[in-house]
Structure 1
Amino acid sequence: MEFDPTWMLLGLPLAFVLGWLASRLDLRQLRAENRSAPKAYFKGLNFLLNEQQDQAIDAFIEAVQNDPDTSELHFALGNLFRRRGEYDRAVRVHEHLLSRGDLSTSDRDRAQHALALDFLKAGLLDRAEDALNRLEDTAYEAQARLALLAIYERSRDWEHAAAIASKMHGADQGDFSTRQAHYLCEQALALSAQGDRPGAKALLEQAVAAAPDAARPRIELARLFQLMGQHDAVLSTLRAMGERNPAALPLASALMVEAANASSRREEVHQLLLSHYTHSPSLDVLESIVALENAQPSLQATARQRYVQHLDKERSLVAAAKWLAEEKLEHEQFHPQIQRALDHAVKPLTRYRCAACGFEARQHFWQCPGCQTWDSYPARRVEEL
């Protein structure tokens, strides 16, 4: 059978027409999809800007359904779920992203970081820790380490916290020497409570070496020496602390008085505290000076006048109340009622206040119980701020 070229002439136009029709159909479908996806996306963005999060989530879900391969929409949707407290849905979105094989390395790291934040916000600290550890050697490494540090502090896992702080300090991600000293102090206190005083002493000496200018390591070491009956070591340690960090001496003045009374070195400590008080008047240092002078009969009259002399330096209701407690009034029968009223009024003034969040406490904290910030409590009381 011979080939008839007429069929080829007839087939070529037909194939061209069919190809043109197919391309038009694909183009129309593509345009329809492109119109629907951006429309849903911008609708969601508009709802988000108007703080209508429920409607924004519905719009983004529609956009994701129209274009399931778009990672940015998944990230937006996951973040919205997290902000609304729907952590299980946020986790599902970010885990779906991580399961995709076509995800770029940068987007994979981003999804891993987002997943870690989901677990962290949900309070699933063990799963958050695992997710954050996977971010080592990524662009999110520094953020992950900070989050891990917060987890370990929250769970009081001081050993792991010290390891993370050491990594960050070594990688020039900040100065964590003082934070490391705090972690060593916390471990030392735990050992001391268990009766391991030599182990506690070794850790506190490491803390002093890690942060020579920090007040806490030397104060904790002095307290340990006091427990061990080494009163001379207490005074030498606190003297060194006062030289390195004079502002923190009010926190240690009462301990210095205890050691001075136990070692018969009252005069030495008395002169040291007077010298500090002259340059920087402080209620706690004043109290320590008065305590030392009251222990010596020849100085008791001087001690009574210390509070009045303090009023020349500072307008202190606390000092006035303490002076009045020892004075005889014209109508002495009303003294107890007046004194009770004054003592009640000065109570809030003798507290310590966190400089970061304003949380007030009767005792000084190295880490604020309210905002968990380290070294946010000044060494001075509320009245002196």
Structure 2
Amino acid sequence: MEFDIGWILLGLPLAFMLGWLASRFDLRQLRAENRRVPQAYFKGLNFLLNEQQDQAIDAFIEAVQSDPDTSELHFALGNLFRRRGEYDRAVRVHEHLLSRGDLSDKDRDRAQHALALDFLKAGLLDRAEAALQRLEGTAFESQARLALLAIHERSRDWPLATAIAQKMQQSQQGDFSTRQAHYLCEQAQTQIAEQDWDGATQRLQQALQTAAQAPRPRIELAKLQLRLGQAPEAVATLTAMGSETPHALPLAAALLAQAAQAAGQERQVLHFLCQHYENAPSLDVLDSIVALEPLAGSAPLQGRMWYAHHLKKEPSLVAAAKWIAGEALEHPQFQPQVQRALDHAAQPLTRYRCAACGFEARQHFWQCPGCQTWDSYPARRIEEL
């Protein structure tokens, strides 16, 4: 049987036509898939901009399923899960990214940082610490150190917090000397509770050397000196603080008045407080002056007249309530009701307010219990701000 070459001539165009049709079909399918992925991505972005997180998550999941190799979609999805508080799902997304062998070093560091944030937000501090330590030497090193510092502060591990703060200061990430002084003061508080007087004194002296401009080491040292019966030393410590950091004297005014009485130096301290008050009027300094004035007997004013004098300098409901407490009203039967109303209205004005988060408290805090920020409470009360 002879082979007919005509079949070959007929089959070649047919094969070409079938190949062309197959390529067109694959190209159309590829284009359709490429259109679906950006469409789902942009739909998710639109939901996100409209703060519709549930719909945005659904759209991003659809986009990830269509193109599982897209790392940006995984990052967007993981961040959304974390913002919604679904930390286990965020962890799975970022751990999946880290398990990929084709991930670039830059994206791997980014995924490691995101995973650390997942653990941190979930309160898994041990796993967060381990994840953050892996970021040493990467582009996220600074952010990781700040997060580690927050972890050590939260767990009150002051030696480790000090080590991180020293690293950050050496790498010129900021001045952490005042914060290191706070850490030393916190350790001194523990030693005082254990009655380790010498160790606490050494800690506070070290804190003073670490941050000479910080008021807390001197205030804590003066408290310890007064407790140990070293009243003259406490007076010297607090007057030095008032001279070097006068803005913080209101925090130590009551303690200074107490130390002055114990040391028999009422006259000298009263003169010091009066000078400071004339330069920077303060309610706390004013209260200490009023307390010392009967013992020293050398003040230009006497007793409650200091509060009337304060009202000439600046309006103050707190000072007015304290002044009127000893005044005889025209109708004395209404004195208790009027005084109670004034004290009630003035009470919120005597609080301290965090400058970072607005958390208010009756006492002054070196670290805000609301936002954990250091030195965010001004030395003055709300009425004086």
Query: Scaled by the length of structure 2, what TM-score is found?
Result: 0.90
1:330–1:192 distance in 2 versus 1, CA, 3 Å: same
Matches within 5 A, 1:300-339: 302-339=302-339
Partner of 2:289: 289
CA RMSD after TM alignment: 2.6
Partner Cα distance (2:196, 2:219) in 1: 18
Worse overlay, 153-162 or 234-243: 153-162
* Distance in 1 (alpha carbons) for counterparts of 2:273 and 2:86: 57
Partner of 2:382: 382
Deviation at 1:285, TM superposition (A): 0.9
Stretch moving more, 331-340 or 58-67: 331-340
Letter in 2 for 1:292: L
> Which residue does the alignment assign to 1:264?
264
- Partner Cα separation in structure 2 for residue 20 and residue 256 of structure 1: 95
Q: 2:371 aligns to what?
A: 371
Which whole-Å CA distance do the structure 1 matches of 2:240 and 2:297 have between them? Answer: 30
Task: Give the drift of 1:102.
Answer: 1.2
Quote how far apart the aligned CAs of 1:59 are: 2.1
Alpha-carbon spacing, 1:325–1:108, altered in 2? closer, same or farther (3 Å):
same
The answer as to whether partners of 1:78 and 1:90 remain within 8 angstroms in 2 is yes
| 1:133 CA displacement | 1.3
Counterpart CA distance in 1 for 2:206 and 2:329 is 54
Secondary structure at the aligned position of 1:303 is classed as coil
Aligned to 1:276: 276
1:80 maps to which residue? 80
| C-alpha spacing 1:304/1:32, structure 2 compared with 1 (3 Å) | closer
Q: Is 1:243 aligned to residue 243 of structure 2?
A: yes
Decide which moves more: 130-139 or 337-346: 337-346
Distance 1:244 1:300 in 2: 26
Separation in 2 of the partners of 1:318 and 1:269? Answer: 24
The Cα of 1:58 is off from its aligned counterpart by 2.0
Task: Give the CA deviation at 1:268.
Answer: 1.1
Alignment match, 2:70 = 70
1:361 and 1:228 mapped to 2: Cα distance?
Answer: 29
In the other structure, the counterpart of 2:179 is: 179
Instruction: Return 336-345 or 231-240, whichever deviates more.
Output: 336-345
Per-residue displacement from partner, 1:37-95 (whole Å, max 9, x unpaired)?
Answer: 22322332233333332232222222212221111111111112222222111111110
Matched, 1:148 2:148: yes
Q: 1:52 to 1:255 in 2, by over 3 A?
A: closer
Letter in 1 for 2:295: A
> Corresponding residue for 1:220?
220
Q: Which residue of 1 aligns with 2:135?
A: 135
Percent of aligned pairs with the same amino acid: 71
Kept after mapping to 2: 8 A contact 1:293/1:300: no
Amino acid at match of 1:62: E
Which one-letter code corresponds to 2:287 in the other structure? E
**CA spacing shift, 1:223–1:15, aligned 2, 3 Å:** farther
Q: Secondary structure at the match of 1:295?
A: helix
Instruction: Measure, in 2, the Cα distance between the counterparts of 1:167 and 1:73.
Output: 35
CA distance in 2, matches of 1:300, 1:238: 23
Q: How many residues align structurally?
A: 380
Q: Say if 1:339 and 1:168 are closer, same or farther in 2 by CA, change over 3 A.
A: same
* C-alpha displacement of 1:23: 5.1
- Are the structure 2 counterparts of residues 63 and 293 from structure 1 closer, same or farther at C-alpha, using a change threshold of 3 Å? same
Query: Residue 253 of structure 1 contacts residue 284 of structure 1 at CA under 8 Å; is this kept in 2?
Result: yes
Q: Which moved more, 1:103-112 or 1:224-233?
A: 224-233
Q: 1:62 to 1:202 in 2, by over 3 A?
A: same
SS at 2:97 equivalent: helix
Distance 1:40 1:336 in 2: 71
Measured in 1, the distance between the counterparts of 2:143 and 2:298 equals: 61
**How many angstroms does 1:328 deviate by?**
3.4
Q: Shift of the alpha carbon at 1:107?
A: 0.5
Return the alpha-carbon distance in structure 2 between the equivalents of residues 47 and 217 of structure 1: 52
1:369 deviates by 1.7
What displacement does 1:114 show?
Answer: 0.8
State whether residues 94 and 112 of structure 2, in contact with CA within 8 Å, keep that contact through their aligned partners in structure 1.
yes
**Hey, what does 2:162 align to over in structure 1?**
162
Match of 1:125 in 2: 125
After TM superposition, give the deviation of residue 281 of structure 1 in Å. 1.2
Q: Which moved more, 1:202-211 or 1:88-97?
A: 202-211
Q: Distance in 1 between matches of 2:374 and 2:241?
A: 19
Structure 1 unmatched ranges of 5 or more: none
Q: Would the alpha carbon gap of residues 296 and 51 (structure 1) be closer, same or farther in structure 2, given more than 3 Å must change?
A: closer
For the residue of structure 1 that corresponds to 2:302, the secondary structure is helix
Listed as ranges, the gaps of 5+ residues in structure 2 are none
1:257-300 CA-to-partner distances (Å, cap 9, x unmatched) read 11111111111111111111111111111111111112256869
CA distance in 1, matches of 2:14, 2:156: 75
Local SS of the residue matching 1:69: coil
Residue in structure 2 matched with residue 51 of structure 1 by the alignment:
51
Partner of 2:35: 35
Matched residue SS, 1:372: coil
Alignment check: 8 A CA contact 1:294 1:300 kept: no
| Residue identity matched to 1:101 | G
Q: Is the 8 A contact 1:257 1:288 kept in 2?
A: yes
Alignment partner of 2:41: what SS?
A: helix
- The farther-off stretch of 340-349 and 186-195 is 340-349
Q: 1:237 to 1:75 in 2, by over 3 A?
A: same
